[in-house]
Homo-oligomer: A and B are copies of this chain.
Amino acid sequence: MIKFCTHCGANVSFEIPAGDALPRHVCKCCGHIHYENPRLVVGCVAAWENRILLCRRAIEPRLGYWTLPAGFMENGETTAEAATRETFEEAGADIIVDAPFAMVSIAHINQVHLFYRGRLASETHAAGDESLEVGLMLPEDIPWKDMAFRSVTLCLERYLEDLSQGRFGFHESALGPLGKTL
């Protein structure tokens, strides 16, 4: 929540600027407009032979649950670089990124989740600071009931479907609040 101006420290108001259509936090003193936009969370379905790299989260939200390596994209990097960095940070694995695979809009939390598909450069992997453990799992061993995020479940389902058909596409979808159909 923005209460003070990042430029001058004065109070902001929440109003629609001239020529705009949506309310923004506008500085009452210097006029600076604070735009807020959705964030990209970028990750990867990384394979080694017929196994998939999964991480068990050591941090909230969803501590203790399983996820694909993924995290907030940083300024100054490409989406593919973000996927590579996050996979190294969370799972200690060097990957070769193959292609974008799934994109999930989650409007109610102002996020877009983007997953690449790729391969481990070697079998090396190890839990990073944000993971309790990491594992290369066979599809039949994926802990579906203990997944951290619906976007990850959705991505893994599409991945296994495409894998079984021998042909990978790019999958777009959207998720609404839990308990509501979109």
Contacts and interface: CB of A to CB of B under 8 A. Distances in A.
Copies in the complex: 2
A99 B144 CA distance: 28
Interface residues of A, number: 45
Contacts of A9: 3-5, 9-11
A174 B108 contact: no
A37 B172 contact: no
Interface string A68-90: 00001111111111000000010
A6 B7 contact: no
A2 interface: yes
A2 to B, nearest CB: 4
A163 B2 CA distance: 46
